[in-house]
């Protein structure tokens, strides 16, 4: 694979797989290239979406997932729609709607689609340039989050994180994991407890895989083990990502985050959220207005993994005949958040409103 096909932009990228630099998403000719995250950590494979429709499918089936990565991918999808339809406003508007309907919670998706849609009113080339700028800005913002967040981490600390808010969830670097990578790379001894994060196990599959690639000491814990470890004094801080932050500082993130925040408050442990400013929805007054995605019950009723031949297989792990509900995100009230680590600085949740431009 050439540098271009591995997503190495002109300005390079940070994360490596088997010694080769990758971004999570990039555009090559008219296609959007992605790391197939449903196959990780068992198989590393790339997925090429030739049209905005294929890119929509990649977002909704979670071939690509995580707020920043969804945002950059949606921006590229909007650019693909301009490539396909040019100045056909009706089809462009329908494509925009289809892209926006893929996943409702991640603010970065709406942020990116709007920017590329507006740029596309000039020309298709402007739309493509804007989508590329969004991806580059996402990588830069995460790098900065890492630098700023590193100051909060002391040598020897044990950090719990939920879901995957690493580089796979963005274009590069990650949000919650960026300060951990920065701390590790600056010589601090850090240890990470990665919540398994049922039902899709992004922590056990993706965060653990990322941390292993970077040689960061870590272990996977069951979702219900966090409070116990906190009660034993084994966790010094939590850092999680966010899919959308309301203007009042309420934070939507992967289901289960709220329970961690409540337990952290009870035990007096700092609870940090790491997110670029592009994740803040200043039009959303509070967390109760954040749309929460509900996904298919089968994600709860079944687990998937490689079979003996290494092919992905689903097995039922729940009582036959029982149904399930599957809310994908929850909202942590601002009051439970110690601070938000953004690319523009570290803020108390009630100070975020000052970032509105």
Write out the catalytic residue numbers. 243
119 lines the binding site for ligand MRU (CB under 6 A): no
Q: Which is nearer to ligand MRU, 128 or 135 (CB)?
A: 135
Rg (C-alpha) for the chain, rounded Å, is 19
242 lines the binding site for ligand MRU (CB under 6 A): yes
Q: Which is nearer to ligand MRU, 6 or 107 (CB)?
A: 107
Footprint of ligand MRU on residues 26-65 (CB under 6 A)?
65
Footprint of ligand MRU on residues 264-283 (CB under 6 A)?
none
* Residue 84 beta carbon to ligand MRU: minimum distance, rounded to whole angstroms: 26
What six digits make up the tokens of 353? 């409103």
- DSSP β-bridge partners for residue 237: 159
Q: Which is nearer to ligand MRU, 6 or 207 (CB)?
A: 207
241 lines the binding site for ligand MRU (CB under 6 A): yes
Q: Which is nearer to ligand MRU, 68 or 149 (CB)?
A: 68
145 lines the binding site for ligand MRU (CB under 6 A): no
Closest CA to 148 of 178, 116, 106: 178
Closest CA to 214 of 163, 251, 274, 166: 166
Q: Which residue is nearest to ligand MRU (CB)?
A: 241
Q: Which of 9, 13, 55, 202 binds ligand MRU (CB under 6 A)?
A: 202
* 52-60 and 67-85 helices, crossing angle to 10°: 160
Q: Which is nearer to ligand MRU, 71 or 120 (CB)?
A: 71
73 lines the binding site for ligand MRU (CB under 6 A): no
109 lines the binding site for ligand MRU (CB under 6 A): no
201 lines the binding site for ligand MRU (CB under 6 A): no
* Cα 179 to Cα 188: distance, rounded to the nearest angstrom: 11
Spatial contact of 162 and 254, defined as CB atoms under 8 Å apart:
yes
Site string for ligand MRU, 285-324 (x = CB under 6 A): ----------------------------------------
* Residue 163 beta carbon to ligand MRU: minimum distance, rounded to whole angstroms: 4
* Residue 274 beta carbon to ligand MRU: minimum distance, rounded to whole angstroms: 8
Q: Which of 66, 146, 199, 256 binds ligand MRU (CB under 6 A)?
A: 66
Q: Which is nearer to ligand MRU, 85 or 143 (CB)?
A: 143
Binding-site size, ligand MRU (CB under 6 A): 16
Site string for ligand MRU, 318-337 (x = CB under 6 A): ----------x---------
Q: Which stretch binds ligand MRU (CB under 6 A): 48-56, 89-97, 218-226, 237-245?
A: 237-245
253 lines the binding site for ligand MRU (CB under 6 A): yes
Binding site for ligand MRU (CB under 6 A): 65-68, 163, 165, 169-170, 175, 202, 241-243, 253-254, 328
């Amino acid at each position: 694979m050439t540098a271009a096909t591995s997503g190495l932009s002109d300005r390079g990228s940070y994360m490596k797989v088997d010694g080769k630099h990758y971004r999570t998403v990039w555009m090559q000719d008219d296609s959007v290239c992605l790391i197939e995250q449903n196959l990780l950590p068992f198989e590393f494979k790339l997925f090429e979406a030739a049209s905005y429709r294929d890119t929509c499918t990649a977002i909704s089936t979670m071939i690509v997932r995580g707020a920043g990565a969804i945002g950059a991918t949606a921006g590229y999808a909007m650019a693909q729609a301009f490539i396909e339809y040019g100045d056909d406003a009706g089809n462009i508007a329908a494509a925009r709607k289809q892209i926006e309907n893929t996943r409702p919670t991640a603010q970065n998706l709406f942020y990116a689609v709007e920017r590329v849609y507006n740029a596309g009113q000039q020309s298709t080339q402007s739309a493509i340039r804007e989508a590329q700028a969004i991806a580059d800005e996402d990588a830069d913002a995460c790098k900065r989050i890492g630098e700023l967040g590193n100051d909060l981490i002391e040598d020897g600390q044990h950090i719990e994180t939920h879901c995957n808010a690493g580089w796979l969830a963005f274009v590069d670097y990650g949000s919650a994991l960026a300060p951990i990578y920065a701390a590790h790379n600056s010589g601090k001894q850090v240890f990470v407890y990665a919540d398994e994060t049922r039902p899709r196990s992004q922590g056990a599959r993706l965060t653990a895989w990322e941390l292993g690639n970077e040689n960061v000491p870590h272990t996977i814990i069951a979702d219900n083990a966090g409070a116990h470890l906190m009660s034993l004094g084994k966790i010094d801080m939590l850092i999680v990502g966010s899919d959308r932050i309301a203007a009042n500082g309420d934070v939507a993130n992967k289901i289960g985050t709220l329970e961690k925040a409540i337990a952290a408050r009870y035990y007096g442990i700092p609870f940090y959220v790491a997110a670029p400013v592009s994740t803040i929805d200043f039009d959303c007054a509070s967390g109760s207005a954040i749309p929460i995605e509900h996904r298919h019950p089968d994600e709860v009723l079944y687990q998937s993994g490689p079979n003996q031949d290494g092919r992905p297989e689903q097995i039922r792990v729940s009582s036959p005949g029982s149904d399930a509900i599957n809310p994908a995100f929850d909202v942590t009230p601002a009051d439970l958040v110690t601070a938000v680590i953004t690319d523009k600085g570290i803020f108390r949740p009630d100070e975020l409103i000052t970032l509105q431009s």
